[in-house]
Structures are given as C-alpha cells and as structure tokens.
Amino acid sequence: MDAITVIRAKRDGHALTPGQIDWVIDAYTRGRVADEQMSALAMAILLNGMDRAEIARWTAAMIASGERMDFSALPRPTVDKHSTGGVGDKITLPLAPLVAACGAAVPQLSGRGLGHTGGTLDKLESVPGWRAGLSGPEMMEVLGSAGAVICAAGEGLAPADRKLYALRDVTGTVESIPLIASSIMSKKIAEGTGALVLDVKVGSGAFMKTLADARELAATMVELGTDHGVRTVALLTDMSVPLGLTAGNALEVRESVEVLAGGGPADVVELTLALAREMLDAAGLPDADPERALRGGGAMDVWRRMIAAQGGDPDAPLPVARERHTLPAPASGVLTRLDAYAVGVAAWRLGAGRARKEDPVQAGAGVELHARPGERVTAGQPLLTLHTDTPERFPAALAALADDAVVIVPDGPGEPGPGAAPALAPLVLDRVA
C-alpha cells in the first residue's frame, strides 16, 4: 500500500477499506507516512466525511497503535467522563470524587487546555505539589486508596492519536466530526473503563456551535463506545455562557472546592449532579444518591484523599494573581449576554491558557464573573474582574470583551420591565444513548 492511493480514495469521496485504514494509521505512527501526507488525508476526511464502519475501524486502528489499560482487578465498577471542552468547565474536579464517594471507581484521564478552553490538568497543577504524571501502578494505587484519580494519559496510550491530534491542530482539520470522535473515543476505550459518560458542549464557547452538529458528534461517539463494548451515554449541555463564576486555573479549583463543601454556583452544582447520576447509572449503581454524598461531605473526603495521594496539599493556599483589573457595568439594566467564547479568549490572553502546547500557563490568571445573564446590574458595579501576573496583558483581554460580548438592556429607573430578562437555555439540552 502507499499513502497517495489512500489520499486519492478519500479525496474522490470513496470509503476507505479496513486494510487501507489499518495500514495508514500504523505507517503514520511508525513515521512511514509523512506529516504532509497525513495532513492531506485529514483534510479529505474533513471535506468528505466517513461512514460508521470507517470511523469504527479508524478508532480501532488508533487503539491498536498502543497499549490498553485493565481495571478488572478493582473491586468497584469503573466509569469515566469526558467533556468536549468549554469555558469555566471545572466539572471534573467535583464530579470524580463525588462519583467515587457513591461507590464507583473513576479513572479520569484528562488533558491540558489549548486556546480558549481550559484544561483539567492545568487547573489541578495550581494545587501545590499535585502531580499529573502517574505510572500505571501509581494510578492503580490512587484508585485503590481514594476511589478516583485524575491524571495525564501515558505515552503508550493511543500514540497514533497523539501524533494526529497535534497535526490536526495546525492544519485546520480540528472540526472534523469523524476525527474528533475517533480521537476522544480511542483514548477512552484504550483506557479500559467499563462505562463512559460524555458531556458534549454546544454554543459559542464550544467547538460545536449548533445543536445539530453536537448531536451528530454525540451519536457518533455513543456508537463507537457501543461498538467497542463500552456502555456510553452523552448529554448535550449549553456553553453559550461560562459555567460558574470563574474561568481560569486556581480560580476554578477554588470554586470547585466550594461545590464540594456544599456551596458554589447553582449551574456547576446542577451539572455535576446530572453527570454523576448518569455515571452511576452507567456503572450499575442507579440507587446511589450523589446529592446526599455532596451534602454530607463524602465527596470532599475523597477529594482530599485524591489530592494528597497525588502529592498535593489540599490545605495549602491556592495561587493568587499579582494584578487585577475590574470591568464595571457600563449601564443599569438587565445583563442579557455574557459570551462564553469572549470570556474564554480573555482568560487565555491573561495567561490562563496557551496558544501552543509548549506554552506555560499562569496558575492565578483568569476571569471572575460578578453577574450572570438574566440578572439586573447597576451602572458602575463590578461586572468582571481580570486576574494576571502580567498587567501588560490587560488591553488584549479587554479587547476580547469589547463589541457585543457583554450586552446590558437598560430599563430606566426602578425595576426592569416585563420581558427584559432573556429566556435562558436549559443547562442540559438533550441526551443521546
């Protein structure tokens, strides 16, 4: 076989054969297919798509490129969760210990942020001493002692995807639904978890901007999980507004701890509980009560054990940015728009995210929200607070929040008039199983 024949087949709209898929993934992983050739194939896939059989075989080939993990020795059922990425999406932090407190084992392999979406590992690395990189035996030890672990995937897990993901990021092919689905599911299936719950984000702050695209992605991933024997379900959730009241690293850890302590923003609590119920049901524990575990302190106990087992100090103060800038409300009225993408870009420009995977991040950088859409604000009151160690970043962050990123509908003196508040989308938009 040769790369040019495979590229031409997909360029001309044909389905790739199982043999072609197996060969090109293996050859690319081994360096026998050049980056420019795989780039051409990825663009052909973006433009012409793949059918279900192609996507399943592509995913299987990426799984076969590396090792598979095995949690069958654990005395608990295993379940994992994956989010497609959003702004202020800190849900994994309270969710993993909460599900573990209810009787499941949660081997959560997470990633780092790129661009306007935050990364779970970047957030947790703001906890003094915490380590993302664990060996297989260390991961099993943390799972055994705490019930949950959040860590980076090992180098041997789906190495073909690691190479292809980096290539897609610089060739304009990230948005391909077959490539997104196979990238996510190859790692999750190779991880060896018994069940998987997907949080597919929809809206301005998500990669999927429309409900139709999000449904297609969710259905594709659920089919892949089913085809590989992993019980899989997906929730489609709104990402037009940031989750919670923070977007950043240490800022989001602090908010997550508030949720584990029984407080925190209502939307973060709502989504954490919704995903916990799905995970517990998928793991065969439908009678577990995550709300009780959150309220009673069981989830906080698991969090503290998990952080300590990975070298972190759960009692240590979290980093705080050296500089702050407050953006006041420009008028009185009802806040009708606070765009998630704009907030995510602002946090990124403040140092909370990275443009390239090699870039460092600031632990204390980010954006703090003082109001959410639907709430009435008064001219001059704090609307957003920007946090960074490098104040020269403020102008670029403020530029991201200009134009129509923040919209306030004036209502004049007194209370807002009828219909002034927007009709907000529900947090959970749909379920795919």
Q: Mind listing the domains of the chain with CATH numbers?
A: 3-49 (1.20.970.10), 79-316 (3.40.1030.10), 323-409 (3.90.1170.30)
Average pLDDT rounded to a whole number, residues 133-153: 93
The residue whose two tokens read 């090699």 is 358
Question: Which residue of the set 126, 176, 183, 240 is catalytic?
Answer: 183
- State the Cα–Cα distance between residues 29 and 158, nearest whole angstrom: 10
pLDDT band for position 418 (cuts 50, 70, 90): very low
Instruction: Count CB-CB contacts under 10 A for residue 212.
Output: 10
Residues 354/83/370/419 CA torsion (nearest 10 deg): 130
Catalytic residue among 10, 57, 82, 90: 82
To the query of whether residue 393 is one of the catalytic residues in this protein, the response is: no
CA distances (Å), origin 126, targets 313, 352, 393: 11, 11, 20
Q: In the chain, what percentage of residues exceed pLDDT 90?
A: 83
Tell me if residue 183 is catalytic. yes
Catalytic annotation, pick one of 80, 89, 122, 161? 161
Tens of pLDDT, residues 158-187: 999 989 988 887 888 888 999 999 999 999
pTM of the model: 0.92
The CA-based diameter of the chain, rounded to the nearest angstrom, is 74
Instruction: Specify the amino acid at residue 293.
Output: A
The overall average pLDDT reported for the chain is 93
Output the pLDDT for position 269: 97
Contact 276, 95 (CB under 8 A): yes
Angle, CA of 328, 255 and 244, to the nearest 5°: 60
Give the residue-averaged pLDDT of 147-165: 90
Query: CA-CA distance, 240 to 250, in Å (whole number)?
Result: 22
**Cα–Cα distance list, 160 to 78, 156, 283 (Å):** 25, 10, 29
- Clarify whether 370 is annotated catalytic: no
Kindly name the residue from 57, 123, 163, 168 that is annotated as catalytic.
168
Token readout for 28 is: 């690319």
Contact 279, 243 (CB under 8 A): no
The one catalytic residue in 163, 187, 254, 305 is 187
